[in-house]
Structure 1
């Protein structure tokens, strides 16, 4: 399929011009499109969470079902009925996967949608594209079974053309979704949780995912953009066509254009290639994520019959063990983190703004790289990474042939891995943010003969579709194979371009001695070892980055980062309410920084000094935390009831000394207590006021930080991330609710119920907080604060105008806020 000019792949350098399939209004290009080929199919579905006989039938009566818009995740919704205290919102003691998926319920659900074709749509080639359905979906059109798709994270589509009724007649799409058994190690969500699209194409048109854009040359003075696009002619006639290619700047100005005169084979596909030179290009990088727009057209007999519009970025990537990773010749150290796909209180739903905000939060806290653990992300997530300058490891699978859970993907792997891997690479290969493919994570058979053979096949398949990127995998130590030593991992690394290792920084230097050409990165690491991991990245060019587990908290894998007295113990099965969040993220599920994020700011030189106070520990005991956890620390000097008792204060800094003051009086000046952790430890009797730490280097103060005792809760303050949002179901406003004292200071230990009401052009989509064991409904109009905060997410309902949000809590001044939907 790919011609010889795509054999430009070299061991150390590869170049790519990438794009996102964003469909812009054609007027932005100064032309009118004859046909919009990809239309949202999200609105007005019928849904019921139950199994039904014959619900795929056209005559099935679905009038009593709920009407919803997609994307939709039924696992985040409040459970129906009452079971005493065993059900709390969406959480149930009877959850089959228990803490692994956050104590939520799966089950079987049905979706149905009625639609009619317009007269102008007759004769089109019509398909339906699902971006993601969790999991095991079956789809019918007008009673005709189209197929089954088991994997919950890959896109898929079906041709509807031959099964549709004439224009004006009712058609019915029916989708059965089965999330059954123990099939995931984290919160997956359930249902059609990503977007659905109706694709209408002419008899001569571009194929889906058939356009690939690369460059044989990237230079600041002149770059060559090379388009390869596939055109399908389903008619029985050979057609003479003109394929046009035009590149525009993001401001709309024309940069360059060209065309190809060609013959399109009858009843077949034609692959066409066109190179265009871009003078003085604006290159894409994490620091400057410049994007271009392109317009690709098909004309026959002077008539414009189809158009594909897209956004792309130009950039060159080089990587080797001698010089490390470079983008456009500039070295990049990957400040990375693993990120699961859920969106906190929204569940797994892919609302475009939720995906974008997640990337914004991570970027604002120093991350420049994300590993999409342990499955391919939504296209909207990658669009946000393209736009904001976040590089991505795009990961395919968490399991291959050997199971991690009884009902997981291993049941389908043999039949489906090639189809699923192809769809991932074809869809995502043109995003400039994607710099590596990952074929797996902690695979049981990773270093065995069958696993190495599989990895070799996967790498070969990936490079047959995209020869421009390196391939990696998250390889862990052999805790799942007792007695096997780390050296055996060499087998797993043989097929890979980049050796991704989980929690193995202590082996980097010895491995380099044995394998000097090996490129390494930490695909997972513990937050508490951030300084040790980052030291390896800074010292050694062959270690190109570190990805903490995790960048942001997520639902499921409940309490893997937790604290205990004296020893870390498993969470008791009888504990209820229970943890439902992992509690291991640098940021919590609402996007608020946790103590380890402030520590990482020091490690990454984003901050000179940070401070945290350890919660009081009962006499005779000590606080112990899990490998993924963090000391029970808080950025707070509110410890009422502990007056005169010693509290442990940890100051993080790379300076020579730290001086600590309480209420203006010097308490102590110390050198570093734990150099590996950049930690200065102090024991201070608690007295209210202000505790202040000064960073001292060469006997000069180079930085300071402080914590103050604040007053009692007095009022609520509402702050929106955006006061104006678009009239789109894909837009959101995230509104922080804070408990303040009389001096407008956050009360960091405030836990209290808040009531909400809303009026106008939006609804409350969800309410949540960062409490890892604070099980509550995300949909009811009341919610507790945690550490003085909670978060309300507002979503437009389909009209423009004002939105008024009001909050009340007993004894406090209410909070109110107006936003505009436009």
Structure 2
């Protein structure tokens, strides 16, 4: 396919004059010029007037059409090479420096300033920055930054990556005496009900050619905006040097951060000379303590807490990799309402905005660094490791040279977030090392190769013998793990280090687990008891698990297992080779449009205490069930088969529209002990949860139209389905009626086909077109179905189960936005969104 190029030129902004006080980071995302294609656009006088003008973040892959001729591992979307360009009016005084900071560029970027190359950065998920001095600028003329992004290896990661400058760019102008990027580090070494100790480490850099004396002043601001404590430290630095200055501040009656109470503090750090502030930084943090116990699991602020987590890949469905914060907020709020209290950033570091949201909403985060170490993975055939060719060669090519820099840059950026409670140094690494897969015993012929269900059939001594007698690989798994762990601990010792281990029987005996504070198990609940027998002193938890009852049941029965991260919280693009037209995996609790799925409601019934119940239906003839007439109960065709279910939930429907005389299995997922089902006011019986080992209430019901109602014995939980008539209208629902005029804020508009009485019609689909008038634009459409292959960047989309989604983003102007949805044969539906405060 044709390669594509990405140039980055810094857009005109107000000229900074010499100023003693440093600014905070400046949003540097607006008015970039962009073009795809093979060219050399690094020179400052390159003619880019005809290029497209856009704001960052930007993902060019998601703007393209899906194609069966591309690779399913990254969602059948292209990569290529492209350029972005932006002019910058920047006048640095002799006492100033600046930093150009990139949160994430996918990938293999090169950056130039006025034709001089600043550097190369291959990894698409780690932050990086370049220092700008007056010598690099053009006196009396605008400067130009150009960035080439090379994603010609478009199938180089697991899974969808996106292409381009898909995360924020910021500019920081500061005095030559300053705290560098990510130069303030806040921890809470002592946490109690009456008082807490806040430790602040501030790196001060003196870029002057003479020594400087100064004072570091830190004020701690509480959740309500009041200064609760402060401290100061005097220091002196020689020319062109830097040093870390430590402060300890006490906070009385601290308000602790937790998923229930995500209280946030701010450290305001200033570098002052003779009473004048030369540099100022603000650092948000939380006061909390974390501890893992090998026998009793996880403790937050001294209290036991089960980790009810989900894995999240970084794409946002219709918006690709350039995900507005409001898109993540909607998804995270839904997951939290379903009982989720933790997120694993599978398989790469998340964006700072994502972590900000988790700080604010109260979601714990396992921050994961890598999916590939010394050896590559076959992205097309997960775990098969058959081939790696040019378009699938990933970060393994750069790992030896860049691993330390990328890891440390991520830790430095993320370590102040209270939500981050674990560092994961890698995901399912073991099987890429020659001999380790065989040594595990999971894949012996006599074991059947079923690592989901079969516990290890060989003892640790035999695993160790197999490793020691095999031909040694070029790289040793344990040695690489120890290096990664040491680099992490060098910058942060307050959080445990883990990894997602797909072959933990190998990890425990090879030395890999010795580098970890906590061993994460990937689809290995059958190893929990094995670990208890052989490795009782090492804390463990599930770090990649099926979204099924049997996975959570295994945790409830074992207090030492700290919790799970389900694969996944949301359906994602990619991992779809051989599944065309399916462009992703349906294993999420939410679909790509953010709509809840049956598995979401099952996990909600397990993870929440507020009364809840959810109805689903399916034809008995098409289900995994049979009617045991003697017992008067629906049973499995294969007893115990529920314990063999994997990623995707079994097929069920969310409607009550069948043919007369058909027998329908009615399922209910609830956190109640007893439920009663009623059809048109007539009781169809009371069922007890104790009668269903799979925790799914079931009735066999001869269909008749009307209303199906399920209710708990107390009446606190109720759900209903009604038979829908023919489509008659569309109903629009907006998640936010007012958005900010910043060019970034979004609202989600859901269009649902209903009958004349407003009952959702979920058995009839049709194409819907959207029109947006006013200071906003339509940036994506979706329906939640992974087999819909129409472009996300369109103004029309077919419904799925009678509904679809439009995502609207504000411009920088205030006013009223009219959102119109149209479909043939039905009246248009109109909704209004306000942009701004008027």
TM-score norm. by structure 1 comes to 0.87
> Does the C-alpha gap of structure 1 residues 645 and 66 become closer, same or farther in structure 2, counting only changes over 3 Å?
same
Counterpart for residue 628 of structure 1: 647
CA deviation vs aligned residue, 1:21-44 (integer Å, no higher than 9, x gap): xxxxxxxxxxx9933142111111
* Corresponding residue for residue 616 of structure 2: 612
What's the CA shift for 1:459? Answer: 1.1
Aligned residues of 1:142 and 1:164 also touching (Cα < 8 A): yes
Contact 2:482 2:512 in 1 (8 A): no
- Report the counterpart of residue 501 of structure 2 in structure 1: 475
What CA distance in whole angstroms lies between the structure 2 residues aligned with 1:619 and 1:548? 25
Closer, same or farther: CA 273–372 of 1 in aligned 2, 3 Å: same
Structure-to-structure mapping, 1:377-388, within 5 angstroms? 377-388=350-361
Partner of 1:692: 709
What is residue 92 of structure 1 aligned with on the other side?
Answer: 67
Equivalent residue number for residue 632 of structure 2 = none
User: In the TM superposition, what whole-angstrom CA distance separates every residue of 1:658-696 from its partner, at most 9, and x where no partner exists?
Assistant: 544332334455556974411233333222112234556
Partner of 2:669: 652
**Alignment-derived partner of residue 159 in structure 1:** 131
CA 1:322–1:233: 2 relative to 1, 3 Å: same
SS at match of 2:396: helix
1:602 aligns with 2:616: no
C-alpha displacement at 1:501, in angstroms?
A: 0.4
Structure 1 residue 170, shift from structure 2 partner: 2.1
Superposed displacement of residue 618, structure 1? 6.1
Cα distance change on mapping 1:745 and 1:517 into 2, 3 Å:
same
Partner of 1:354: 327
**Does 1:250 find its partner at 2:223?**
yes
Aligned to 1:812: 826
Contact residue 673 and residue 680 of structure 1 kept, 8 A: no
Q: CA deviation at 1:341?
A: 0.6
Matched, 1:173 2:135: no
User: What's 1:18 paired with?
Assistant: none
CA distance 1:33–1:549, shift in 2 (3 Å): farther
1:677 paired with 2:678, answer no
Relative distance call for 1:608 and 1:125 in structure 2 (3 A) is: closer
Q: 1:376 to 1:507 in 2, by over 3 A?
A: same
C-alpha distance in structure 2 between counterparts of 1:296 and 1:654, whole Å: 48
Quote how far apart the aligned CAs of 1:372 are: 0.3
Q: Is the 8 A contact 1:647 1:684 kept in 2?
A: yes
**2:165 match: secondary structure:** coil
How far the C-alpha of 1:594 sits from its partner, in A, is: 0.3
Please state whether the residue corresponding to 2:584 is helix, strand or coil.
Answer: coil
Select which of 514, 527, 543 maps to 1:523.
543
Q: Are residues 1:62 and 2:79 paired? A: no
Partner of 2:403: 417
- The range that moved more, 492-501 or 364-373, is 492-501
Cα distance in 2 for partners of 1:685, 1:33 equals 79
Q: From 590, 593, 613, give the equivalent of 2:593.
A: 590
Residue 677 of structure 1: SS of its match in structure 2?
Answer: coil
Give me the whole-angstrom Cα distance separating, in 2, the residues matched to 1:765 and 1:134.
Answer: 20
Pick the aligned partner of 1:801 from 783, 797, 815: 815
- Establish whether residue 35 from structure 1 lines up as the match of residue 35 from structure 2: no
- Once the two structures are superposed, residues 693-717 of structure 1 have per-residue CA deviations (whole angstroms, 9 ceiling, x without a partner) of 4556xxx877543322122222222
Q: Secondary structure at the match of 1:314?
A: coil
Is the Cα contact below 8 Å between 2:673 and 2:690 reproduced in 1? Answer: no
**Could you tell me how far 1:384 is from its partner in structure 2?**
0.4
Q: State the partner residue of 2:201.
A: 228
1:773 aligns with 2:760: no
Residues 1:702 and 1:159: Cα distance change in structure 2 (over 3 Å): closer
1:459 aligns with 2:485: yes
Does the CA-based 8 Å contact 1:247-1:292 persist in structure 2? yes
Whole-Å separation in 1 of the counterparts to 2:740 and 2:655: 38
Q: Distance in 1 between matches of 2:828 and 2:741?
A: 27
Deviation at 1:356, TM superposition (A): 2.8
Q: Does 1:326 align with 2:326?
A: no
Tell me if structure 2 keeps the 8 A contact 1:532–1:676: no
1:134 aligned to 106, 111, 128, which one?
A: 106
**What is the 5 A alignment of 1:312-323?**
312-323=285-296
SS of corresponding position for 1:73: coil
Contact 1:503 1:526 in 2 (8 A): yes
What is the aligned partner in structure 1 of residue 769 from structure 2?
755
- Name the structure 2 match of 1:661: 678
Q: Match of 2:630?
A: none
**Uncovered stretches (5+) of structure 1, i.e. residues with no partner:** 1-31, 79-89, 479-484, 560-569
Shift of 1:788: 2.2
Mapped partners of 1:620, 1:167: distance in 2? 74
CA distance in 1, matches of 2:365, 2:805: 27
Cα gap change, 1:359 to 1:605, in 2 (>3 Å):
closer
Shift of 1:429: 0.7
- Residue 533 (structure 1) shift: 2.2
1:643 aligns with 2:660: yes
Provide the TM-score with structure 2 as the length reference: 0.85
Residues 239-276 of structure 1 deviation map (CA, whole Å, 9 limit, x = unaligned):
11111111112332221222112212221002111111
Q: Find the residue that maps to 1:535 and give its secondary structure.
A: helix
Question: What whole-Å deviation, never above 9, does each CA across 1:633-654 have from its counterpart, x for those lacking one?
Answer: 1221123xx3212222223346
Query: Residue 398 of structure 1 corresponds to which residue in structure 2?
Result: 371
Mapped partners of 2:623, 2:531: distance in 1: 45
| Structure 1 equivalent of residue 9 of structure 2 | none
Is residue 467 of structure 2 the alignment partner of residue 441 of structure 1? no
Q: Distance in 1 between matches of 2:774 and 2:647?
A: 43
Within a 5 Å distance, the mapping from 1:39-118 to structure 2 comes to 39-52=26-39, 54-78=40-64, 90-95=65-70, 98-118=71-91
Match of residue 537 from structure 1: 555
1:475–1:489 Cα contact (<8 Å) kept: no
Matched residues in 2 for 1:233 and 1:685: separation?
80
Give the stretch that moved more between structures: 550-559 or 618-627. 618-627
Q: How far apart in 1 are the matches of 2:56 and 2:20?
A: 27
| Partner secondary structure for residue 414 of structure 1 | helix
The DSSP-based 3-state class of the residue aligned with 2:574 is coil
Contact 2:201 2:245 in 1 (8 A): yes
Q: How far apart are the structure 1 equivalents of 2:715 and 2:777?
A: 50
How far does the alpha carbon of each residue in 1:387-428 deviate from its partner, in whole angstroms, 9 at most, with x for none? 110000000001111111331111111111111111111111
Q: 1:205 to 1:522 in 2, by over 3 A?
A: same
Report the number of matched residues: 748
Distance in 1 (CA, whole Å) between partners of 2:717 and 2:334 is: 25
Deviation at 1:490, TM superposition (A): 6.5
Distance between the aligned counterparts of 2:651 and 2:265, measured in 1? 47
Q: Distance in 1 between matches of 2:181 and 2:624?
A: 65
Partner in structure 2 of residue 549 of structure 1: 567
CA 1:371/1:672 → structure 2, altered by over 3 Å: closer, same or farther?
same
SS, match of residue 225 in structure 1: strand
* Partner Cα separation in structure 1 for residue 158 and residue 507 of structure 2: 27
Contact 2:496–2:518 (CA under 8 A) maintained in structure 1: yes
5+ residue gaps, structure 2: 1-18, 379-387, 437-466, 626-636
Q: 1: CA distance between counterparts of 2:375 and 2:51?
A: 39
Kindly report which structure 2 residues correspond to 1:558-573, keeping only aligned pairs within 5 A, or say none: 558=576, 571=579
Whether the 8 Å CA contact 1:396–1:438 is kept in 2: the answer is yes
CA distance in 2, matches of 1:226, 1:589: 41
Moved more, 141-150 or 321-330: 321-330
CA contact (8 A) 2:177 2:207 kept: yes
- Give, in angstroms, the shift of residue 299 of structure 1: 1.2
Contact 1:103 1:580 in 2 (8 A): yes
Q: 1:723 aligns with which of 737, 743, 747?
A: 737
Greater alpha carbon shift after TM alignment, 212-221 vs 32-41: 32-41
Question: 1:489 and 1:693, CA in 2 relative to 1: closer, same or farther beyond 3 A?
Answer: farther
1:736 counterpart (750, 771, 784):
750
Of residues 38-47 and 448-457 in structure 1, the stretch that sits farther from structure 2 once superposed is 448-457
Q: How many Å separate the matches in 1 of 2:654 and 2:187?
A: 48
Match among 309, 313, 317 for residue 336 of structure 1: 309
